[in-house]
Structure 1
Amino acid sequence: MEHVFKRLYLDDQPADRFLVADETGLGKSMVARGVIAKAIERLDRPDSGVDRIDVVYVCSNADLAKQNLGRLNVTGQKDIIESGRLTLLPTELAKLKAPAAPGTRKRVNFISLTPGTSFNVSKAPGQARERAVLFRILQQLSVLKEDRHEDAIELLRSGAHAHNFNWEVKRLVELFPDGFAPSVAEKFQQLANSSGNLPAFEVSMRDALTDGAAAIRPRMSATIGGLRGDLAQAALECLEPNLIILDEFQRFRDLLYSHGAAPDDEDPAAELARQFLNYKGTKLILLSATPYKAHTGANEADGDDHAADFRQLLRFLSSERPGYMEGLEADLDDRRTQLLKQVPDDALTRRIEDGLKLFMSRTERPQLGKDDMLDVIEMAPTNVRAGDLTSYRSLAALFRATRTGNPIECWKSVPMFAHFLTGYKVGRMLDGRIHCDREAVGPVLPALATIDPDAYRRYAAVETDNPKFRAVREHTVGQGWWKLLWMPPSLPYVEPSGAFAEVGADATKQLVFSAWNAAPTAITTMLSYEAERQILEGSPLHGENTAEARKRFRGRLRFRVRDGEPQAMSTLALFIPPCRSGTCR
């Protein structure tokens, strides 16, 4: 934490952007919290040059953003801003400009944003509340006359119920009788006129006079989306970000930079994000244990290149500092030559490390010998069957027909790949989303290894084409883990019995790493089927895996409530501690 703060604020040539790439679970958020505390202390001085302190937390998940913003709130103040959307910031301006909280000289704001709903806003109508903000600001600018309010509500309500949207509008009018800050309204009007979205809305209002607003409303998505984009850009006027935390930024790195290339100037979402991130004097902290794919091959299906991604990330972090990338890339080339020749050069290694630590740091979990919480299970798959090789041969024929590279890596990692290829280029070709040579593809499809539908319907064992998966299945479900309702405790207070005694003390969580997006879905699907099959063996449902048969199956631990009254709650006794002589044990 001290190193990050020093690089951002204290060095002679401070960094504006810094990456904390600590391994998962080692406290990246705590590092950010520490930097926030020290930054507030520094900026709260009378001579810091800022009137208020805005700390913005950006995360791809709104619920996670709300949770983590609470952790980063070092002041403990209650009035943090969790709207998650730039377009709603005009409604929070009073809170942003509120008096300082006890203990600080200046107002400190904590704001959470999600990139998908804050920057990539120009293609959808958004939430009803956002459209209500649009209504109020158009009303404030006198674009909407009193006698046209009903038509405007009809055009802007999109998929919301008319009554509900009308309520949102009335609520905003009551909360903001004088409208929003004039600077925001004027900026919005300027942007909306320049983009053509405001003239387009006015045309729609005129068309509503002749054709009726209800007939025009289905065609309003593009115009509303454009107005939302203008509003988001105008809302940046509300923010004065001093410190921005980008958590798990690799999930939205396209907004920061393109893979191995310059940012796309034609992308309005990326342009809006850059305006936000490049606010004068703003410091950025990026948090991610995996800021780029650690290794890629020559035939990556998604076109990733780990070397290009790494360099582009460094360009972004260094803000294109003159001479930095040229010197670092020369050192990296020398390092590669050194490794190939097996000639050690400690001075070169230290120079590269020092260069990287200017803009990034990483702490990895130490290996603790026999006391380590992690145990690597070696599963060298030696049980390769003839069917596995036949599956690879048919998969290779499909990849040749679609000209999508070599499938050997996905065949080794994803069981029954033919069922889980939807997200890949070959899957998009088969779905018809991308053109392919149907005459070449058609003949090879019947040979692909697929789940036997008859075995599936009978809840029979399903053979797979993947020796790695069979090893994982044997190590987990094959050891009777399907009998467990939950993972057994590693340090039990009482001696385990029943199924927990059968599996022994070695049963614990398993972590499977794979570079293939299809692997988690495929592995969990196949393991879940096998566990369910074992659970139902011997039951009336076994032998018929259909929706109709499932309807006949009733859960045993059910707690029913009818009209607020509990019904048939005898099973609750299983979960209540028994009492003897008035004392519960």
Structure 2
Amino acid sequence: MTARAKPFQEATVEAATAALQGGNPLRRFLVADEVGLGKTVVARDTLSAMARTARRFTVYYITSGLKVADQNKAELLRFLDEESADAALSKIDRVGLIPFEPSGPRKLRLYAFTPNTSFCKSQRLYGGKAVERAFISLLLDRIYPGLANDFPYGYIENGATSGWKAACTAAEERIDHVSQRFIASYGRALRTEFGMPARRAILEAVHNTRPGHSLGRMRKALAHAALESTPPDLVIFDEFQCYRHVRSPEDDNPLAKQLLRGKESAAPPPLLLLSATPYRFFAERWETIAGIAPHAELFELIEFLGGERVRTEAEAQFRKFGDLLHLIGKLPSDDRGTPISEARTIKRGLETLLVPLMSRTERPPTDHAHEPPPPPVPI
């Protein structure tokens, strides 16, 4: 039975949908509700709201592991009847295989991926599934006829034995589903990945690097081409704290960056981020010495969600708010009225600034389950 959204979840869905449909120019929204408060329900109803009026709608659901993906991907489609949900949920488990999926009259399509299978860093490249390599072999033959014949014996198989024949059969059966647009896109991705002239560069890589790495580069190009030819209409990042590093300009994960930031002049897709701990809320002294600054992580997150202007404004207002709190703590009770009023004004301004970007719901603080929560601080 589908869990109905509670009022606080409905409010979050409304804010998230507005942000992802353009209320936030960057089309990013963070749901940072406390663990157990139903972030998946919010994601489900946001997806439902966004897909409702679309002719076709593609969703990437990305999480840190297969266990979480298997648990939540069906929950995201609970707003559909069972037959429609089964039709909408793809069995494809990596981005590069999307173009080989048979087309159908489906309005909604949801793919569940993990970083290890679809968004590996350059130094972690590997050969992938046999069926991926079989597809790559067929694509190479169409783009650069005869190139694979110059590979070392057994190179594309990469150790596959009994399953290789079945992988080739599956690839040959599905290759006709692949559009010419995607084949051209894969050719461009190979040229970008290996350089020009691509045919010679690919052959040199095959002969001069370990098979897993060079095949991994071909798989990376495959995923780039898939993203370019079949862009998602919504990306849901679950446990987004696991992807903090992707926001860094130094991070070596071009596939994830393409998904987060778009490619060249193309706008990135709307991003719905789910995380109860999107940044470190505090740091121990040893962490501070090591250079970990929770407040800096917060402002980096705000910049990612809303842009540099929003970050600058948030930093200035948080600084004023903090200064006022320190002042209030030092003043006699009778002299606190004006700074408390100023703090309230700044608080409302921060809420106005950040509500289009994020939502955070917590359980009322209490030491014992049956005790009422303490009264709120009057600021």
Amino acid at match of 1:7: A
Residue 179 (structure 2) aligns with? 181
- RMSD value, Cα: 3.0
Distance in 2, matches of 1:32 and 1:220, equals 40
Distance in 1, matches of 2:99 and 2:152, equals 20
Query: Secondary structure in 2 aligned to 1:304?
Result: coil
Q: Is the 2:260–2:271 contact (alpha carbons within 8 Å) kept by the matching residues of 1?
A: no
Match 1:89 to one of 76, 91, 98:
98
Distance in 2, matches of 1:293 and 1:172, equals 45
Relative to its length, the structure with more helix (as a share) is 2
Match 1:40 to one of 43, 51, 54:
51
- Sort the Cα spacing of 1:129 and 1:153 in 2 relative to 1 into closer, same or farther, 3 A: farther
Q: Is the 2:127–2:219 contact (alpha carbons within 8 Å) kept by the matching residues of 1?
A: yes
Distance in 1, matches of 2:271 and 2:318, equals 26
Residue 244 (structure 2) aligns with? 253
Match 2:105 to one of 76, 99, 102:
99
1:50-449 aligned at under 5 Å gives the runs 51-73=55-77, 74-75=79-80, 76=82, 77=84, 78-79=86-87, 80-92=89-101, 94-95=102-103, 98-100=104-106, 107-120=107-120, 122=122, 123-144=125-146, 148=149, 154-158=154-158, 160-176=159-175, 178=176, 180-196=178-194, 198-203=199-204, 219-255=210-246, 257-258=247-248, 263-264=249-250, 267-275=253-261, 280=267, 282-300=269-287, 303-320=291-308, 323-342=309-328, 343-344=339-340, 345-367=343-365, 370-372=368-370
Q: CA shift at 1:13, angstroms?
A: 6.5
Q: Is the 1:57–1:110 contact (alpha carbons within 8 Å) kept by the matching residues of 2?
A: yes
Query: Secondary structure in 1 aligned to 2:29?
Result: strand
Query: Secondary structure in 1 aligned to 2:163?
Result: helix
Amino acid at match of 2:310: Y
Q: Is the 2:258–2:268 contact (alpha carbons within 8 Å) kept by the matching residues of 1?
A: no
User: Identity over aligned residues, as a percent?
Assistant: 28
Amino acid at match of 1:286: L
Q: CA shift at 1:145, angstroms?
A: 6.7
Distance in 2, matches of 1:152 and 1:87, equals 24
Distance in 1, matches of 2:286 and 2:273, equals 29
Q: CA shift at 1:339, angstroms?
A: 1.5
Distance in 1, matches of 2:39 and 2:252, equals 33
Q: Is the 1:250–1:292 contact (alpha carbons within 8 Å) kept by the matching residues of 2?
A: yes
Q: Is the 1:19–1:360 contact (alpha carbons within 8 Å) kept by the matching residues of 2?
A: yes
Distance in 1, matches of 2:217 and 2:370, equals 54
Amino acid at match of 1:70: A
Deviation readout 1:283-317 (Å, 9 max, x if unpaired): 22111111111111453286432111100100011
Distance in 2, matches of 1:331 and 1:285, equals 26
Q: CA shift at 1:8, angstroms?
A: 4.4
Deviation readout 1:434-464 (Å, 9 max, x if unpaired): xxxxxxxxxxxxxxxxxxxxxxxxxxxxxxx
Q: Is the 1:89–1:238 contact (alpha carbons within 8 Å) kept by the matching residues of 2?
A: no
Match 1:7 to one of 4, 15, 19:
15
Q: Is the 1:243–1:283 contact (alpha carbons within 8 Å) kept by the matching residues of 2?
A: yes
Q: CA shift at 1:36, angstroms?
A: 1.4
1:426-505 aligned at under 5 Å gives the runs none
Distance in 1, matches of 2:234 and 2:43, equals 10
Structure 1 gap ranges (5+): 45-50, 101-106, 208-215, 374-585
Q: Is the 2:121–2:252 contact (alpha carbons within 8 Å) kept by the matching residues of 1?
A: no
Query: Secondary structure in 1 aligned to 2:117?
Result: helix
- Sort the Cα spacing of 1:269 and 1:53 in 2 relative to 1 into closer, same or farther, 3 A: closer
Structure 2 gap ranges (5+): 1-8, 329-338, 372-379
Q: Pick the structure with greater CA Rg.
A: 1
Distance in 1, matches of 2:346 and 2:140, equals 61
Distance in 1, matches of 2:261 and 2:183, equals 18
Q: Is the 2:13–2:43 contact (alpha carbons within 8 Å) kept by the matching residues of 1?
A: no
Q: CA shift at 1:251, angstroms?
A: 0.7
Q: How many residues align?
A: 336
Deviation readout 1:140-175 (Å, 9 max, x if unpaired): 3243379x39x56711222x3334224312321133
Q: CA shift at 1:249, angstroms?
A: 0.8
